[in-house]
Amino acid sequence: MVWLFAVATGLIVANLYYAQTLVGPISRATGLDPGAAGLIVTLTQIGYCLGLLFIAPLGDLVENRRLIFIALLTSAVALLAASATSNPNLFLLAAFCIGLGTVAAQIVVPFAAHMSRPETRGKTVGKVMSGLLMGIMLARPVASLIADALNWHAVFVISAITTTALAFLLRAKLPQRHPNSGLHYFQLLGSMWHLLKTTPILRRRAAYHACMFGAFSLFWTSVSLELTGPYFHLSQTGVAIFALVGVAGAIASPIAGHRADQGKSLSTTFIAFALGATAFALPLLIHVNRIVDLGVLVLTSILLDMGVSANLVTGQRAIFALPAEIRARLNGLYMALFFMGGALGSSLGGWMFAAHGWQGVLLAGLVFPLAALCIFATEPGVRTRRTRGRRTRRTRGQV
């Protein structure tokens, strides 16, 4: 079941990311202005955010298997609509609906957490999230390879067929889960505001990952424009190979989940932020030649993906340790809040590239993990450790 959950979440969430490396050809085919090209990804993420806020909480109210099935069929219809249009407004509407349907992934993840034992929940979530992150990272090279061999329309047609098949597979294989929240829908939505106000770990972890996911979205929305530009001049196949190498970053996910189970969440979080900051600092500092600079960008993609995956799993482990009857709502809030950071990053990436070039994108990207580190410095456990360290040094000085 863990493998089924992992593969399912990867295939579902990939629908959010197929367009990232296809921003150039899609914007040219639909007539979108270069400065507005980031909307192709941003509207998908906004749809996903709204789905997390208004659809994912239904996981605490209605039978989960049926909810997943309906959401996946909705996503499949939207994917077909995106493949069939060259009108920019219709494409953006379809992108928004793809995001809404893709929320099925965040009904599957709490489902997996619900079925796992408490002492191994972090490891289980880490494995499922590895599948999800593999879907995110493989979506980009797969989309580029299919677009190079056929066209960008084919990417969405194939994804629609795959999503439909997955909907029927999950309906056949998943057990039924009938939650018992005792609330109606509007009470459920109202309770989310109360949960946000009364759950500080949710607010903190959402802020952390909003910063990291903003950096992630900014980088991957913009890097294909740089790689296919006059300096690197890569084809869509070249972009696919570049994105494929970044998949190595997914290895951090189960490691982070295991460390979280061992009570090492704080140090894992700090390492994740340090990886994110280093990822953007390297290409800003190193300029040698085309080959070396491309190698540095490959390293940047791996380090950034490692930092993002480690921080995501650590955050979800902390949230899934909270009561099971509110788990779907907590996960929906967590994902929606940090996807707002992702939407900001993707829209900012397209605008920064058009207005200030690749250097502007890197500088903007560096701000996100640095902001996360500043928030992390206010973490109660971090402040306590700093205070103890100062007291120890003063004591040693007196001795």
What was the pLDDT predicted at 21? 72
SS (H, E, C) 97-116: HHHHHHHHHHHHHHHHHHHC
Query: Does residue 77 sit within a domain?
Result: yes
Backbone angles phi, psi at 183, to 5 degrees: -115, 155
pTM of the entire predicted model: 0.73
Report the pLDDT averaged over residues 151-176.
91
Please name the residue ranges forming H helices in 233-289.
Answer: 236-245, 252-261, 265-285
Instruction: Answer yes or no: is 63 within a domain.
Output: yes
Phi and psi (nearest 5°) for 277?
A: -65, -40
Res 183: pLDDT: 67
Which structure tokens are listed for 233? 């001049």
Q: How confident is the model at residue 249 (pLDDT cuts 50, 70, 90)?
A: confident
pLDDT in tens, 208-222: 999 999 998 899 878
Residues 339-345: what's their mean pLDDT? 83
| CB-based contact 269:208 (threshold 8 Å) | yes
Q: Is residue 205 part of a domain?
A: yes
Does residue 282 have a pLDDT over 80? yes
pLDDT band at 399 (very low <50, low <70, confident <90, very high): very low
Q: Is residue 181 part of a domain?
A: no
Q: What is the CATH number of the domain that holds 33?
A: 1.20.1250.20
Residue 396 has pLDDT above 70, yes or no: no
Q: How far apart are CA 220 and CA 3, in angstroms?
A: 27
Which of 56-65, 250-259, 307-316 ranks highest by mean pLDDT?
307-316
Of 130, 168, 138, residue with least CA distance to 155:
138
* Average pLDDT of the chain to the nearest whole number: 82
pLDDT band per the 50, 70, 90 thresholds, residue 392: very low
Q: Quick one: DSSP state of residue 175?
A: P
What pLDDT was estimated at residue 381? 65
Give residue 165's pLDDT band: very low, low, confident or very high (50, 70, 90): very high
Tell me whether residue 86 is in a domain: yes
User: Who contacts 140 (Cβ-Cβ below 8 Å, separation ≥6)?
Assistant: 17, 18, 20, 21, 220, 224, 239, 240, 243, 246
Instruction: Tell me the average pLDDT across 266-276.
Output: 90
* 190, part of any domain: no
Using an 8 Å Cβ cutoff, are 243 and 301 in contact?
Answer: yes
Query: In this predicted structure, which of 67-76, 87-96, 253-262, 272-281 has the lowest mean pLDDT?
Result: 253-262
Are 159 and 14 in contact, with CB atoms under 8 Å apart?
A: yes
Query: What is the rounded CA–CA span in Å between residue 85 and residue 339?
Result: 26
Share of the chain above pLDDT 90, in %: 21
**In this structure, is residue 386 part of a structural domain?**
no
Contacts 24+ apart (CB under 8 A), 194-201: 195/326, 195/329, 195/330, 195/333, 196/333, 199/322, 199/330, 201/318, 201/319, 201/322
Residue 32 has pLDDT above 80, yes or no: no
- Whether 339 shows a pLDDT value over 70: the answer reads yes
Q: Is the pLDDT of residue 367 over 80?
A: yes
Reply yes or no on whether the pLDDT at 86 is more than 90: no
Closest CA to 148 of 220, 57, 238: 238
Between residues 386 and 166, the one the model is more confident about: 166
Output 308 or 141, whichever has higher pLDDT: 308
Query: What pLDDT does 237 receive?
Result: 77
* Structure confidence by residue, pLDDT tens digits, 140-151: 788 888 888 888
CB 240 within 8 A of CB 370: no
How many structural domains compose the chain? 1
Element (H, E) at 326: none
Task: Tell me the two tokens of residue 369.
Answer: 């993990």
Instruction: Give the DSSP H/E element, type plus range, for residue 288.
Output: none
pLDDT value at residue 305: 87
In a domain, 89, yes or no: yes
Parent domain of 78: 2-174+196-381
| pLDDT 10s digits, 97-116 | 999 999 898 888 777 777 77
pLDDT band at 41 (very low <50, low <70, confident <90, very high): confident
